[in-house]
A and B are shown apart, each in its own frame.
Chain A
Amino acid sequence: MQSLKYRYLQVVRDRGNMFWGLFYPMILATFFFIAFGDLGKDSWKEIPVALVAEEVQEPAAMFVSFLETMDGELITVTNMTEEEALAALSGETVEGIFFADGGDGAPALTVGKSGLRETMLSMLLDAYVKNAAMYRDIALSHPERLQDALSVMQEDVSHIREVTLGGKTYDHVLEYFFASIAMMCFFGCFTGQKLGEEAAANVSRQAARRSISPEKKSLAVLGDLTVGISIQFASALLFLLFLQYGLRISLGGNFLGMALICLLGSMVGVSLGMVVGSAKIKEGFKTAILVALPLFLCFLAGLMFGEMKVLIERSFPLLNRVNPAALISDALYFLNVYNDPAGFRLRLFLLFVFAAVMTIWAFVSLRRTRYDSI
């Protein structure tokens, strides 16, 4: 107990590691929050848009129906003439103008400026255009099935409404925050590095002094693992609270589930650091590995580019199953957004396997008592 108390003190007093393990992720998340505005918050406001639909005929009338179904969900639609709409856009009472017939019967969009909300309007139009093409094809090839297809479209819209009303967000900006949670778990590797160095007698004199004592090596290593993982886990919980209550980001309601993911993530991060820390290589090289590896894994998990994980999922999905950062981010997404228990369980299981393997690896590599050279 005495030994554990002092090991805790040493880790907590290490300002550098505490910065990287806790405060840096908080700063990064704050930057994300500033950059992406209030997306993801509970107080989501619909985007006001003008709809110019004067004397439209099919197929433009189908677009008007589509926008009407979205009215009050993602957007607030006001019917206007073209002049009124342009005046409203310049007066910033609307953020975009949908033209039901922008030429050749195809809908069009005009926005006043660029931004995330304007991008969402564009994505909405794109989604409609893709579907509309499909319906046109159906009308040409199987006109008798057109009514069924339109019913499916209505169901899709209903699904969107249900998801939204159910408190789940369709906001993929959350990917950045989930990836930042993965990163903060991984940054426990710096604490792990220090603990690893201070437990390997061929790496540091402090470890040699510990090794020659009657303290059992396996207990000492277990103690160090406990110290590192518990401190990183506590930091991760603080980080979750900071996101949820500090930045008021709606991560979803399952805090216990997120805590479990963070615990496994912290085990992976701290164990990785201990394995690298106990290696008899130059300290600068160790630090380089522990900076580059987590950042690379988190990059693949969407930390710098939110769509990265989706791109990998489409082209090489196995990479997302073997990347622990992607597993953390995915598990959070499956828990809070997709509401897919099977997907969540799979990712949690894979993450558990990773955490177990890394922790056992760290334990085995550090419980050595005799060395070829010191």
Chain B
Amino acid sequence: MLEIKGLVKRYGETLALDHLDLEVKEGEIFGLLGPNGSGKTTTIGCILALLKYDRGEIRLFGKEMSPTAYDSKRQIGVVFQDVAVFDRLSVFENIDYFCGLYVPDRAERRPLVEEALSSTGLNEYRKKRPKQLSGGLLRRLNIACGIVHKPKLIILDEPTVAVDPQSRNRILEDIKALNKAGSTIIYTSHYMEEVEQICTRIAIIDHGRQVACGTSQELKEMIRTGESVTVEGVVLTQAQIDEIRRMPQIYDLSYENEELKLKYENSTGHLLPLLHYLEQEGIAFANVFSEQPTLNDVFLEITGKELRD
């Protein structure tokens, strides 16, 4: 559906996109993950033919994307990070206006507008002006304006920034519903939990380059860090610590203030052998918990820095 090859974009001396390659397949929820300033929004601007770029190729629906690629544009819906609605139009009028840019026929448009109002839960606010809406409702209006014409490809550029948790969950559920209804989604965010929660495939970009791409599981398997186990309130002798260190696949161990931290390579299922050892040795402990690697661990290991800069 979308193919980007060797995209280069400079802002003066700053290299915003450095030979970026991406491929989004039909039916995916494709996550574009990266810290602020990594080039996510610039990538979106280039895909939408809003930004000039220095080199590279963008093909959408099998055709080269350009400002006059009206057939392709007709099939795209965008939800920008900043709310992009008109203050002097009501909720209904805003959705109807933006829908009218894609669907000129009034009779054809009307049911689409009604559906967008219902699906985003804005029906009862249809006569309100945007300034009369809460932040969460405003975000939903922003989404409604972007998806009302039922596009094949929906691009959401950080749609949950500055949104309360309740509205955020609602937005994420809406995105999944849109995907189930047949739309391909490109979702940019620097919130890794969100991306992990809804995306079927994820590309991590940093400094305008794609540093990794795959499903959440594939990305985690790319790195050395696997399961992490923490045991709290445990008293160990040096001999016991050495014994534990010799257990298979442990590559990092720390013991401090009666807290034991273990890092395993790749695989899962290390908790039971550890607990078995502690029971066998009659070692008491307060708490034990196991953690799987996160996308932040992936990002940290690949780029050497935290995702949330």
- How many Å from the CB of B190 to the closest CB on chain A? 19
B93 proximity list for chain A (CB < 8 A): 6, 9
A10 proximity list for chain B (CB < 8 A): 86, 88-89
B11 proximity list for chain A (CB < 8 A): 372-373
Inter-subunit contact A210/B101 (CB<8 Å): yes
Inter-subunit contact A213/B102 (CB<8 Å): yes
Inter-subunit contact A212/B76 (CB<8 Å): yes
Interface string of B115-137 (1 = CB under 8 A from A): 00000000000000000000000
Interface residues of A in 343-374 (CB under 8 A from B): 369-374
B50 proximity list for chain A (CB < 8 A): 201, 208, 211-212, 369-371, 374
Task: Tell yes or no: B214 within 8 A of A by CB.
Answer: no
Task: Tell yes or no: B300 within 8 A of A by CB.
Answer: no
Inter-subunit contact A217/B67 (CB<8 Å): yes
Inter-subunit contact A371/B51 (CB<8 Å): yes
Interface string of A206-232 (1 = CB under 8 A from B): 101111111111000000000000000
Specify the chain B residue showing the minimal Cβ separation from A368.
Answer: B67
Specify the chain B residue showing the minimal Cβ separation from A210.
Answer: B101
**Which listed residue (B48, B51, B78, B100) contacts A6, Cβ 8 A?**
B100
Docked complex Cα distance between A203 and B75 (Å): 24
Inter-subunit contact A214/B52 (CB<8 Å): no
- How many Å from the CB of B37 to the closest CB on chain A? 13
Docked complex Cα distance between A206 and B97 (Å): 11
Docked complex Cα distance between A214 and B65 (Å): 12
**Which listed residue (B73, B83, B88, B96) contacts A212, Cβ 8 A?**
B73
Specify the chain A residue showing the minimal Cβ separation from B77.
Answer: A212
Docked complex Cα distance between A204 and B71 (Å): 24
Inter-subunit contact B49/A209 (CB<8 Å): no
**Which listed residue (B52, B70, B83, B101) contacts A371, Cβ 8 A?**
B52
Assess A214 versus B89: contact at CB under 8 Å? Given A205-B84, A369-B67, A371-B50: no
Assess A213 versus B101: contact at CB under 8 Å? Given A9-B89, A13-B88, A205-B80: yes
- How many Å from the CB of B277 to the closest CB on chain A? 58
Docked complex Cα distance between A374 and B84 (Å): 14
A205 proximity list for chain B (CB < 8 A): 80, 82-84
Inter-subunit contact A370/B89 (CB<8 Å): no
- How many Å from the CB of A229 to the closest CB on chain B? 19
Assess A208 versus B51: contact at CB under 8 Å? Given A213-B73, A214-B101: no
Interface string of B95-116 (1 = CB under 8 A from A): 0111011101010010000000
- How many Å from the CB of B293 to the closest CB on chain A? 36
Task: Tell yes or no: A3 within 8 A of B by CB.
Answer: yes
The count of residues in chain A whose C-beta lies closer than 8 Å to any C-beta of chain B is 28
B109 proximity list for chain A (CB < 8 A): 2
Task: Tell yes or no: B85 within 8 A of A by CB.
Answer: yes
Docked complex Cα distance between A201 and B93 (Å): 21
Task: Tell yes or no: A14 within 8 A of B by CB.
Answer: yes
Interface string of A92-103 (1 = CB under 8 A from B): 000000000000
Docked complex Cα distance between A204 and B96 (Å): 20
Inter-subunit contact A214/B74 (CB<8 Å): yes
Inter-subunit contact A209/B84 (CB<8 Å): yes
B273 proximity list for chain A (CB < 8 A): none
Inter-subunit contact B85/A2 (CB<8 Å): no
Interface string of B144-171 (1 = CB under 8 A from A): 0110000000000000000000000000
Interface string of A188-207 (1 = CB under 8 A from B): 00000000001001001110
Docked complex Cα distance between A125 and B96 (Å): 69
Docked complex Cα distance between A204 and B84 (Å): 8
Docked complex Cα distance between A319 and B65 (Å): 49
Docked complex Cα distance between A120 and B157 (Å): 70
**Which listed residue (A209, A215, A372) contacts B145, Cβ 8 A?**
A209
- How many Å from the CB of B260 to the closest CB on chain A? 51
List residues of A whose CB falls within 8 A of some B CB: 2-3, 6, 9-10, 13-14, 198, 201, 204-206, 208-217, 369-374
Contacts A2-B106, A213-B102, A370-B49 aside, 18 further interface pairs with beta carbons under 8 A come to: A2-B104, A2-B109, A3-B100, A6-B86, A6-B89, A10-B86, A205-B82, A206-B85, A206-B86, A209-B84, A214-B70, A214-B73, A215-B101, A216-B70, A369-B49, A369-B50, A371-B52, A374-B50
Listed A/B pairs (28) with beta-carbon separation below 8 Å:
A2-B100, A2-B104, A2-B106, A3-B101, A6-B89, A6-B97, A9-B93, A14-B88, A198-B86, A201-B50, A205-B80, A205-B82, A206-B84, A206-B85, A206-B86, A209-B84, A209-B98, A212-B73, A213-B98, A214-B73, A214-B102, A216-B70, A369-B49, A369-B67, A370-B50, A370-B52, A371-B50, A371-B51
